[in-house]
Amino acid sequence: MSDTKSQVDTSYVESTTTDDRLKNQEPATHDRPWQCSLEAAKAANAREHEMSVTQALKLFPWAVAWSLVPSIAIVMEGYDTILITSFFGYPAFRTKFGEEHSGKGYQVAGSWQSALGAAGNLGCMVGALINGFLIERLGFKRVFLLAQVLMCAFICIPFFGDSVGLQVAGQTLCGLPWGIFATLGPAYSSELCPMVLRPYLTAFVNVSFVMGQLISAGVLQGLIDLDNQWSYRIPFALQWVWPVPLFVFGCFMPESPWWHVRKGQYDSASKIVNRLLAEPNTDTAHQTVAMMIHTNNLENEIKEGSYLDCFCGPNSRRTEIACMALAGQVFAGIAFAYSPTYFFEQAGMSDDDSYKLGLGGAGLAFVGTTVSGLAMHYLGRRIMYVGGMGLMSVYLLVIGCMTPATKGHNSNPAVLWAQSVVCIIWLFTFSLTVGPIAWVIPPEVSSTRLRSKTVVLARNSYYVASVVANGLEPLMLNPTAWNWRGYAGFFWFGSAFLTFVWSYFRLPETKGRTYEELDLMFAREVPTREFGKYQVDAYEEDSHLS
């Protein structure tokens, strides 16, 4: 570290080469003089590539522990996502907020179903967009604590609301903190953990989402026979279980060291890296921060910082990949097959059987999500995403083709159950492949200086697609509207197949790449097919971003 050939002063990090990209660094603020070398950054980069999962867990156990805290908050979004759409088939909820239709019992009007399905996503879009600005200025920790306070307050509206209009308002306002959690969690995990752990911890966001849906399905199944207002008020009230303990844990969580590096606070970043280690080690922390500074300086060349920068130069390709990967969850048919309870009911199943199947599907989704980490380790991102999207396209086509045999004089109950089984298989495939992988891709392909904003744009792409999907889906299934039943599978087959085609030609393999290497590969416009085998050295003299 003290080698005079490679020391730098406090105004910039200078390598032993003539590489001008390491010069003219903004001075560190609030910290004591901080020195590092290019050799230290190289050592950290080499360690990133050499570490196994077991070694990384032993070296950075606290990085794993703390990255789980904001991700667990996404349980609330997953919980309510399945909750509000499942209420459309809930007897007490339909009686309270619906209207009676001859021969069809009480039904929440299709227009209100669309509004309730879209309200949460609209709130999430606003919350995610605000989050991109807040994190840059306040940091991850303070934004996380603020979101927990808002969550506690906004839950009151759906709990006490006695009109469908108040329920829409409550979903919209609750969406604000959900949007913050959904974009803060993966970005924070990707900045805290070493490369080998990065996909597991960012994918844990999807585990939390599925956990929320599994809890929701269990609560709904347990309360379906309670024929009064508490059958839907209790599920809303259970959302208060999460914010208080998460707020307490949030008070102690460390700020992202990358955030401090971007602010020029290198000593603070080093102290945080030491907190993440099993045992404090000055050399390891110093080398890790040196690598962060090197990456930050690489990206400083193109003066990134605003949302507009996400659509300029090499970042436009990175933003496209991030947005399409996450929106692809919706295009795969998530509104149709991920929460199939209402579809099962409208197809002719009893309320009890529908919710039991919904609970079983949520359980399989949890199993698929937990297994996905192991599959990702061996197969990578591209194969799992492209393969999963292709399989789900086939499942949706099969559901649509079986629909004629579920209605009329020739109706066959066995075909209805077969459709339901295919829905469950779709759910397992989604949770094994596209579900978790789509959370890993945005924080991985984005540049570090634009990570929060790229994740926000990707998540908002998901929310925009969800608003449209959740607006159309109730109309497709509602017997008082289009009444498509299983024919909706044809519609979602089309969108899933187009996403499959996009992913085949545009989604690169990013497994085993550090952020420095990805910066250079995108800057060099490496073709999609060559990402997995491309050779790059982030410390070559000519490794410029321009």
Q: How far apart are CA 333 and CA 349, in angstroms?
A: 21
Q: How far apart are CA 348 and CA 354, in angstroms?
A: 9
Q: At what angle do helices 488-506 and 351-402 cross, to 10 degrees?
A: 70
pLDDT of residue 546: 45
For the segment 350-368, the average pLDDT, to the nearest whole number, is 76
Query: Where does a domain end: 234, 253, 272?
Result: 253
Q: What's the first-to-final CA gap in the chain, in angstroms?
A: 30
One domain for residues 379 and 465: yes
The model's pLDDT over 365-379, given as tens digits with 9 standing for 90+, comes to: 888 888 888 888 888
Judged by average pLDDT, the poorest of 327-336, 432-441, 443-452, 498-507 is: 443-452
Structural contact between residues 512 and 195, judged by C-beta atoms closer than 8 angstroms: yes
One domain for residues 307 and 451: yes
One domain for residues 223 and 106: yes
Judged by average pLDDT, the poorest of 10-14, 307-311, 351-355, 390-394 is: 10-14
One domain for residues 407 and 329: yes
Q: How far apart are CA 193 and CA 100, in angstroms?
A: 54
Q: Which residues of 336-363 are buried (b: 16+ CB within 10 A; e: fewer)?
A: bbbbbbbbbbbbebeeeebbbbbbebbb
Is the predicted pLDDT of residue 26 greater than 60, yes or no? no
Domain that holds residue 505: 302-531
Dihedral pair phi/psi, residue 310, rounded to 5°: -65, -15
One domain for residues 517 and 368: yes
Q: How far apart are CA 537 and CA 516, in angstroms?
A: 9
The encoded tokens of residue 219 equal 């609560």
Q: How far apart are CA 325 and CA 403, in angstroms?
A: 30
pLDDT of residue 325: 96
pLDDT of residue 66: 94
Residue that has been written with the tokens 């359980």 in this structure: 363
Nearest to residue 475, comparing CAs of 487, 493, 462? 487
Q: Is residue 378 part of a domain?
A: yes
Q: How far apart are CA 329 and CA 334, in angstroms?
A: 6
Q: How far apart are CA 543 and CA 305, in angstroms?
A: 21
pLDDT of residue 20: 42
Three state DSSP letters for 472-515: HHHHHHCCCCCCCHHHHHHHHHHHHHHHHHHHHHHCCCCCCCCH
The encoded tokens of residue 305 equal 């910082």
* 339 secondary structure, DSSP code: S
Q: How far apart are CA 508 and CA 532, in angstroms?
A: 7
Q: Is residue 433 part of a domain?
A: yes
What is the pLDDT confidence band of residue 477, given thresholds at 50, 70 and 90?
confident
Q: How far apart are CA 87 and CA 120, in angstroms?
A: 14
For the segment 508-512, the average pLDDT, to the nearest whole number, is 90
For the segment 460-485, the average pLDDT, to the nearest whole number, is 80
Q: Pick the residue with more confidence: 2 or 341?
A: 341
pLDDT of residue 251: 94
Q: Is residue 23 part of a domain?
A: no
For the segment 141-162, the average pLDDT, to the nearest whole number, is 93
CATH number of the structural domain spanning residue 223: 1.20.1250.20
Is the predicted pLDDT of residue 174 greater than 80, yes or no? yes
Burial label for 376, CB within 10 Å (0-12, 13-18, 19+), is buried
pLDDT of residue 32: 46
pLDDT of residue 139: 93
Q: Is residue 190 part of a domain?
A: yes
Residue that has been written with the tokens 């980490």 in this structure: 373
What is the pLDDT confidence band of residue 410, given thresholds at 50, 70 and 90?
low
pLDDT of residue 104: 61
The encoded tokens of residue 107 equal 């039904």
Q: Around 60, how many Cα atoms within 13 Å sit in the side-chain half-sphere? A: 25
Q: Is residue 273 part of a domain?
A: no
One domain for residues 99 and 248: yes
383 Cβ partners below 8 Å, 6+ apart?
509
One domain for residues 365 and 465: yes
Dihedral pair phi/psi, residue 350, rounded to 5°: -70, 160
The encoded tokens of residue 497 equal 């197949």
One domain for residues 137 and 214: yes
Q: How far apart are CA 419 and CA 492, in angstroms?
A: 15
One domain for residues 194 and 58: yes
The model's pLDDT over 87-141, given as tens digits with 9 standing for 90+, comes to: 777 778 888 887 776 666 677 777 787 788 788 888 988 998 898 889 988 999 9
Q: Is residue 266 part of a domain?
A: no
**Sequential DSSP letters for 31-58:** S------HHHHHHHHHHHHH--HHHHHH
The encoded tokens of residue 186 equal 């993966």
pLDDT of residue 301: 65
Number of structural domains (the chain) is 2
What is the pLDDT confidence band of residue 16, given thresholds at 50, 70 and 90?
very low
Q: How far apart are CA 393 and CA 498, in angstroms?
A: 9
Nearest to residue 384, comparing CAs of 425, 435, 423? 435
One domain for residues 193 and 306: no
pLDDT of residue 347: 59
pLDDT of residue 8: 33
The model's pLDDT over 253-286, given as tens digits with 9 standing for 90+, comes to: 999 999 999 888 998 999 999 999 998 888 899 8
The encoded tokens of residue 85 equal 């759409």
Residue that has been written with the tokens 């690598």 in this structure: 291
For the segment 496-508, the average pLDDT, to the nearest whole number, is 96
The encoded tokens of residue 521 equal 């590969």
11 Cβ partners below 8 Å, 6+ apart?
25, 27
Across the chain, mean pLDDT equals 82
One domain for residues 383 and 491: yes
* 105 secondary structure, DSSP code: E
Is 90 strand, coil or helix? coil
Query: Where does a domain end: 231, 253, 275?
Result: 253
Q: Is residue 126 part of a domain?
A: yes
Q: Is residue 129 part of a domain?
A: yes
What is the pLDDT confidence band of residue 528, given thresholds at 50, 70 and 90?
very high
* 337 secondary structure, DSSP code: I
E strand or H helix that includes residue 359 = helix 351-402
The model's pLDDT over 277-335, given as tens digits with 9 standing for 90+, comes to: 998 888 899 899 998 888 888 777 655 567 888 898 889 999 999 999 999 999 999 88
Dihedral pair phi/psi, residue 460, rounded to 5°: -70, -30
By percentage, how much of the chain surpasses pLDDT 70?
85
Query: Where does a domain end: 223, 253, 283?
Result: 253
Is the predicted pLDDT of residue 7 greater than 50, yes or no? no
One domain for residues 334 and 470: yes
For the segment 28-38, the average pLDDT, to the nearest whole number, is 55
For the segment 185-196, the average pLDDT, to the nearest whole number, is 88
The model's pLDDT over 222-241, given as tens digits with 9 standing for 90+, comes to: 887 777 888 888 988 998 98
Structural contact between residues 189 and 65, judged by C-beta atoms closer than 8 angstroms: no
